[in-house]
């Protein structure tokens, strides 16, 4: 399931978390089956709760900046398209200057 999700969302922020770290792994799950770098958390003994909050906050801040940049790029594109359309209209207009 994890690999399938990672494949579907390769550019999204990702954090592997194992909750209930105060408990042993479930039957049939070996320690080497837990992805390298997994953050183990437990609210029972407060293991890595602050670290989890910090990482999730960083993800939210990064995502907010990305969305803001995308919005600015969209606005700049709209302005450029409007200016191009105006320039095309001006170029297509008949020249009304009188020469004489």
Look at residue 32 and tell me whether its pLDDT is greater than 80: yes
Q: Given pLDDT bands bounded at 50, 70 and 90, which one contains residue 95?
A: low
**Entry pTM:** 0.59
**42: closest CA among 23, 25, 20?**
20
- For 34-77, the pLDDT digits (tens) are 999 999 999 999 999 999 999 988 888 887 777 777 788 888 88
What are the DSSP calls for the chain, one per residue? -HHHHHHH-TTS----EE--TTSPPPTT--GGGSPTTPEE-BTTTTBTHHHHHHHHHHHHHHHHHHHHHHHHHHHHHHHHHHHHHHHHHHHHSPP-----
pLDDT (0 to 100) of residue 98: 58
What are the structural domain ranges in the chain? 2-90
pLDDT tens digits for range 16-29:
999 999 999 999 99
pLDDT of 94 strictly over 90: no
């Amino acid at each position: 399931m994890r690999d399938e999700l990672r494949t579907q969302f390769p550019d999204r922020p990702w954090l592997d978390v194992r909750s209930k770290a105060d408990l042993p792994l479930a039957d049939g799950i070996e320690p080497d089956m837990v992805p390298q770098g997994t953050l183990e958390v437990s609210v029972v003994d407060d293991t890595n709760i602050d670290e989890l909050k910090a990482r999730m906050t960083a993800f939210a801040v990064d995502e907010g900046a990305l969305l803001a940049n995308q919005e600015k790029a969209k606005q700049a594109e709209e302005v450029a398209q409007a200016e191009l359309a105006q320039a095309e209209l001006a170029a297509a207009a008949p020249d009304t200057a009188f020469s004489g």
